[in-house]
Amino acid sequence: MSLSKLSLAALALAGSTAALQPIYAKGQKFFYENGTQFFMKGIAYQEDELPGGGPLPSDVEFIDPIADTAQCRRDVPLLRELGVNTIRTYAIDPDADHDECMALLDRAGIYVVSDLSHPKLSINRDAGEWNLALFDRYKAVIDELAQYNNTIGFFAGNEVTNNATNTPASAYVKAAVRDTKQHIIDQGYRWLGVGYANNDDPDMREDIAHYFNCGTPEESVDFWGYNIYSWCGESTMERSQYDDQVEFFTDYGVPVFLAEYGCNQVEGGAGGRIFQETGALYEDEMTEVFSGGLVFKYQNETNDFGVVTIARDGRATRMDSFEFLAREHANANPTRVQADDYESDFTTPSDCPARSDHWEAHQVLPPTPDRDLCECAVAASLCGPSGELEDEEMQSIFDFICENDAAACAGINHNATTGVYGAFSMCGQRHKLAYVMGAYYESQNQAADACDHGGLGEVKTNTAESSCEEPLASAAAVNEEAATATEGTPRPTGTGSGSNDEDGESFGAPSAVFTRVFALGDVAVGLYMLVAGAAGAAMVML
């Protein structure tokens, strides 16, 4: 069934005079600005394939789902028909124009929570970093979406740590949480939450939840998203282990919601989903702890998780599961509290998890990316590249210096297991290279051949301004301590960080595209690819 022009016109007229009330968090719950409790009735909204199927062209990194106005005009009425009040986007272009889509969503009573990364610029679970390029990207997304009342907040990561082998990556994500939260404060924005979306891995799901909720409020999450697919078809709280999640998160200090749910391991796949768990999600047993959830996902693609199919000509057709989800959303009427009547007792953060076979991330976090400090290091270096270098050339210099003078590389090393980070570990590859070349040159008493590196290096003049003196002195003290502490990570690799990528980072295993195995309460699910993929008091859409 295609979308009619009549339904689009009706949507355009509905609620056109007022903007949605902003959402904020208090203790373990979300509230509208007027103090009424808010529950997410949401869905993931991100196309990862071309209409009708097929991969994106090689020159297209991702599709921004809220920049395509024709798509928004097609889908927003359907989202409203679904009873959705929140969408989750996994990647947006901060330089695109989102005004029309965000206005359409606003008039339909729909909020947005967005991931900050994109498929080729995200924290690498197997070689984690928190650096200038990532921070710039995250800030740009925040700055773009902060202008809209119907933005709830952001995910600093999605399943970056997805099993016990890559838990150190969580330290870099938590640093991203800390720094993006501070950016929101520095910019004077209203409350906008920064959280994390975690998978349901039994070995580390408790440790990681505590890790992101421990420490100071400045570095802990504002909300927790839980990606869980354990309720398949007809089930129960006990058989799906939803009851265990309610028990575990009962005393968690921030709002918790299902950031992805909707098992497709049923007869008929995505189209056979009946969304029985959606009804349970808004019953008292769960709403005491959970603030709703986000179905995965709207568009049906190769991974078979949608409720709508998109034809090659762009027409949207409701699947059978669409009607089930719409019915469950319509019937849901969760018990709410008013903010003034809600006494939040969640003032004590979680205890940070101890190091174990299942958890290795240290509670000491990487430094905040500081472009000025990185530029100071380059300006002060007495040796640097003789020109623009290729990845392999940069790597050969890193290899030589770090093998022959470990202390020269202490300032760029980082180890999230020991909590030891060089002061320049957050810099780009260009900055790091200039720093280590200068450090090695000086350690060799400025020997004539210590800066040559086969013609790739040349002696420089210190051009650092006086304002660099104090931060460079502080950085030197940090690096001296790092040199004598537990050894950091090996020297940088050139992967994904050539001379035209000044703030370089490696993208060997970006978290936006991932493979996982679910052990569900009702059924064992095999390996598959998942691509990470009106207003005012009168309109309170739950």
The residue among 327, 322, 323 whose CA lies nearest residue 310 is: 322
The residue among 53, 248, 40 whose CA lies nearest residue 150 is: 40
Catalytic residue among 260, 277, 301, 328: 260
Residue 323 covered by a domain: yes
- 332/440 same-domain check: no
Separation of alpha carbons 49 and 44, rounded Å: 14
> Tens of pLDDT along 348-388?
688 999 999 999 999 999 999 999 999 999 999 999 999 99
- Give the domain extent around 235: 23-341
- 335/424 same-domain check: no
Contacts of 322 (CB under 8 A, 6+ apart): 78, 82, 307, 308
DSSP 124: B
**C-beta separation of 208 from 237 below 8 A:** no
Residue 389 covered by a domain: yes
Q: Is 159 a catalytic residue?
A: yes
pLDDT computed for residue 502 by the predictor: 56
Residue recorded with tokens 């009873």: 83
Separation of alpha carbons 85 and 80, rounded Å: 7
Whether the predicted model's global pTM rises above the 0.85 cut: yes
Q: Note if the bond before 297 is cis, omega within 30 degrees.
A: yes
Instruction: Give the type of residue at 481.
Output: E
Phi, psi of 525, rounded to the nearest 5 degrees: -110, 130
Tokens in use for 21? Answer: 């009330």
The count of other CB atoms within 10 Å of the CB of residue 107 is 24
pLDDT computed for residue 346 by the predictor: 65
pLDDT computed for residue 455 by the predictor: 96
Catalytic residue among 49, 81, 129, 159: 159
The residue among 400, 427, 393, 394 whose CA lies nearest residue 411 is: 427
What CATH number is attached to the domain comprising 476?
A: 1.20.58.1040
Q: Is 260 a catalytic residue?
A: yes
Give average pLDDT by consecutive 10-residue segment, the chain, 542 residues: 41 54 97 98 96 90 96 98 98 98 98 97 96 98 98 98 96 98 98 97 95 96 98 98 96 96 97 98 97 98 97 96 98 97 80 95 98 98 96 97 96 97 97 98 96 97 97 97 72 40 41 31 32 35 43
**C-beta separation of 255 from 337 below 8 A:** no
Provide DSSP, 246-287. HHHHTT-SS-EEEEEE----STTGGGG---HHHHHHTSHHHH
- 427/304 same-domain check: no
- Planar angle of CA 482, 403, 130, nearest 5 degrees: 45
Residue 347 covered by a domain: no
- Domain end, chosen from 323, 341, 359, is at 341
Based on the number of CB atoms within 10 Å of its own CB, is 62 exposed (0-12), middle (13-18) or buried (19 or more)?
A: buried
Residue 219 covered by a domain: yes
- 336/452 same-domain check: no
Contacts of 182 (CB under 8 A, 6+ apart): 218, 368
- 337/393 same-domain check: no
The residue among 320, 318, 250 whose CA lies nearest residue 290 is: 250
Residue 527 covered by a domain: no
Residue 421 covered by a domain: yes
What CATH number is attached to the domain comprising 276?
A: 3.20.20.80
- 303/388 same-domain check: no
Element (H, E) at 12: helix 5-13
Separation of alpha carbons 120 and 104, rounded Å: 29
- 323/376 same-domain check: no
pLDDT computed for residue 488 by the predictor: 52
Which whole-number Å values give the CA distances from 445 to 330, 439, 441, in the listed order?
Answer: 75, 10, 7
- Planar angle of CA 207, 208, 211, nearest 5 degrees: 85
Q: Furthest-apart CA pair in the chain: how many Å?
A: 79
> Tens of pLDDT along 74-112?
999 999 999 999 999 999 999 999 999 999 999 999 999
**C-beta separation of 377 from 424 below 8 A:** yes
- 62/116 same-domain check: yes
Instruction: Give the burial string for 152-186 (b: 16+ CB within 10 Å, else e).
Output: bbbbbbbbbbbbbebbbbbbbbbbbbbbbbebbee
Please provide the size of the chain in residues.
Answer: 542
Tokens in use for 200? Answer: 């349901």
| Number of Cα atoms under 13 Å in the Cβ half of residue 351 | 3
Separation of alpha carbons 112 and 154, rounded Å: 9
Separation of alpha carbons 109 and 536, rounded Å: 10
pLDDT computed for residue 46 by the predictor: 96
Residue 111 covered by a domain: yes
The count of other CB atoms within 10 Å of the CB of residue 291 is 23
pLDDT computed for residue 349 by the predictor: 84
DSSP 522: S
Number of structural domains (the chain) is 2
The residue among 297, 65, 122 whose CA lies nearest residue 56 is: 65
Based on the number of CB atoms within 10 Å of its own CB, is 268 exposed (0-12), middle (13-18) or buried (19 or more)?
A: middle
Q: How far is CA 177 from the centre of its chain?
A: 9
pLDDT computed for residue 511 by the predictor: 37
- 318/420 same-domain check: no
| Number of Cα atoms under 13 Å in the Cβ half of residue 69 | 6
DSSP 340: G
The per-residue pLDDT of the chain, averaged, comes to 88
- 86/176 same-domain check: yes
Tokens in use for 106? Answer: 């606003």
- Domain end, chosen from 484, 500, 523, is at 484
Residue 199 covered by a domain: yes
- 305/390 same-domain check: no
Rg (CA), the chain: 25
Separation of alpha carbons 435 and 440, rounded Å: 9
- Domain end, chosen from 468, 484, 500, is at 484
- 395/447 same-domain check: yes
